[in-house]
Amino acid sequence: MAVPNPAQQPGVPDDTTHIAFTYLALGDSYTIGQDVPAQDNYPNQTINLLNKNNLDGQVKIIATTGWTTQNLKSAIDNETTLLSTYDIVTLLIGVNNQYQGQSSENYKPEFEDLLKKAIAFAGNNAGHVIVISIPDWSVTPFAHGRDRNTIAKEIDAFNAVNKDISAKYKVKYLDITPWTREAADDKNLLAADGLHPSGIEYARWAKKLEEMIITILK
Ordered by where they begin, the domains of the chain are 19-76+83-217 (3.40.50.1110)
CA distance 48 to 174: 19
Q: Give the pLDDT score at 18.
A: 84
Give the tens place of pLDDT for each residue, 79-120. 999 999 999 999 999 999 999 999 999 999 999 999 999 999
128 φ/ψ angles, rounded to the nearest 5 degrees: -100, 10
Q: Full-prediction pTM beyond 0.85?
A: yes
Let me know: does 91 contact 118? Beta carbons within 8 Å: yes
- Rg of the chain in Å (alpha carbons): 18
Give the tens place of pLDDT for each residue, 5-52. 444 434 444 556 889 999 999 999 999 999 999 999 999 999 999 999
**SS3 state at 45:** helix
Residue 3 has pLDDT above 70, yes or no: no
Give the tens place of pLDDT for each residue, 110-147. 999 999 999 999 999 999 999 999 999 999 999 999 99
Let me know: does 72 contact 26? Beta carbons within 8 Å: yes
pLDDT band at 162 (very low <50, low <70, confident <90, very high): very high
**Amino acid identity, position 153:** K
Q: Give the pLDDT score at 17.
A: 80
Give the tens place of pLDDT for each residue, 177-194. 999 999 999 999 999 999
Averaged pLDDT of the chain: 93
Q: Give the pLDDT score at 16.
A: 63
Closest CA to 154 of 213, 96, 216: 96
**SS3 state at 61:** strand
